[in-house]
Structure 1
Amino acid sequence: MSTLLKLAGVETHIGQYHILYGVDFEVPEGGVTMLLGRNGAGKTTTLRTIMGLWQASKGTISFDGKDITRFATPDVARAGIAYVPENMSIFADLSVKENMILAAREGEMDDARLKWIFGFFPALEKFWLSAAGSLSGGQKQMLSIARAILEPRRLLLVDEPTKGLAPAIIGSLTDCFQELKKQKTTILLVEQNFAMAKALGDSVAVMDQGRIVHSGEMRELAEDNSLQTRLLGLSLDAHQ
Structure 2
Amino acid sequence: MREAPDSLLSLSGVHTHIGEYHILQGVDLEVPRGGITVLLGRNGAGKTTTLRTIMGLWKASQGRVVFAGQDIAGKATPDIARRGIAYVPESMAVFSDLTVRENLHLAAISGPMDTARLEWIFGFFPALKKFWNYPAGNLSGGQKQMVAIARAIVEQRQLLLVDEPTKGLAPAIVQNLIEAFRQVKENSTTILLVEQNFNFVRQLGDTVAVMDDGRIVHTGTMAELAADDALQQRLLGLSLAAHQ
Task: Please give the range of the TM-score, normalised by the shorter of the 2 chains.
Answer: over 0.9
Code of the aligned partner of 1:61: V
Shift of 1:182: 1.6
Between the aligned partners of 2:34 and 2:132, the Cα distance in structure 1 is: 31
Whether the aligned pair in 2 keeps the contact of 1:12 and 1:49 (CA below 8 Å) is yes
The residue type paired with residue 196 of structure 1 is F
Is contact 2:124–2:173 with CA below 8 Å preserved after alignment? no
2:214 to 210, 215, 221: 210
- The one-letter code sitting in structure 2 at the alignment partner of 1:55 is K
Pairwise CA distance, 1:93: 1.1
Contact 2:145–2:168 at 8 Å: present in 1 too? no
Shift of 1:178: 1.2
1:57 partner amino acid: S
Q: Distance in 2 between matches of 1:23 and 1:76?
A: 19
Q: Supply the distance in 1 between the matched residues of 2:230 and 2:185 (Cα, whole angstroms).
A: 29
Give the one of 172, 176, 183 matched to 1:172: 176
Output the CA distance in 2 between the equivalents of 1:170 and 1:146: 14
1:51 corresponds, among 55, 76, 89, to 55
Q: Under a length normalisation based on structure 1, what TM-score does the superposition of the two structures give?
A: 0.98
1:118 Cα deviation after fit: 0.8
| Residue in 2 that maps onto 1:3 | 7
Question: 5+ residue gaps in structure 1?
Answer: none
The answer to whether the 8 A contact 1:138-1:169 is kept is no
Which of 131, 138, 153 lines up with 2:135 in the alignment?
131
Q: Could you tell me which residue of structure 2 aligns to residue 192 of structure 1?
A: 196
- Rounded Cα–Cα distance in structure 2 between residues aligned with 1:171 and 1:135: 21
Measure the CA separation in 2 of the matches of 1:230 and 1:51.
30
1:151 aligned to which of 149, 152, 155 = 155
Match of 1:79 in 2: 83
C-alpha distance in 2, partners of 1:216/1:184?
21
Where do 5+ consecutive residues of structure 2 fail to align? none
> Which of residues 226, 229, 239 is equivalent to 1:225?
229
Moved over 4 A (4+): none
Please report how far the alpha carbon of residue 169 of structure 1 lies from its aligned counterpart in structure 2 after TM superposition: 1.8
Pick from 51, 54, 69 the counterpart of residue 65 of structure 1. 69
Alignment of 1:142 with 2:146, yes or no, is yes
Q: Could you report, residue by residue, the CA deviation over 1:188-235 in whole angstroms, capped at 9, with x for unpaired residues?
A: 000101111110000000001111000011111011000000000001
Contact 1:10 1:23 in 2 (8 A): yes
Inter-partner Cα distance in structure 2 for 1:147 and 1:15 = 30
Residues 134-188 of structure 1, C-alpha deviations (whole Å, 9 max, x = no match): 1111111111010011110000000001123221121121111111122121000
Matches within 5 A, 1:70-109: 70-109=74-113
2:88 is aligned with 1:113: no
Measured in 2, the distance between the counterparts of 1:158 and 1:129 equals 25
The whole-number CA distance in structure 2 between the counterparts of 1:60 and 1:225 is: 34
RMSD: 1.0
Alignment CA distance shift 1:152-1:223 (3 Å): same
Mean Cα deviation higher: 174-183 or 186-195: 174-183
- 2:132 maps to amino acid: W
Give the distance between the partners of 1:73 and 1:149, measured in 2 at CA: 18
In the TM superposition, residue 107 of structure 1 has moved relative to its aligned partner by 4.5
Instruction: Give the conservation status (yes or no) of the 8 Å contact 2:37–2:209.
Output: yes
The TM-score, its normalising length taken from structure 2, stands at 0.96
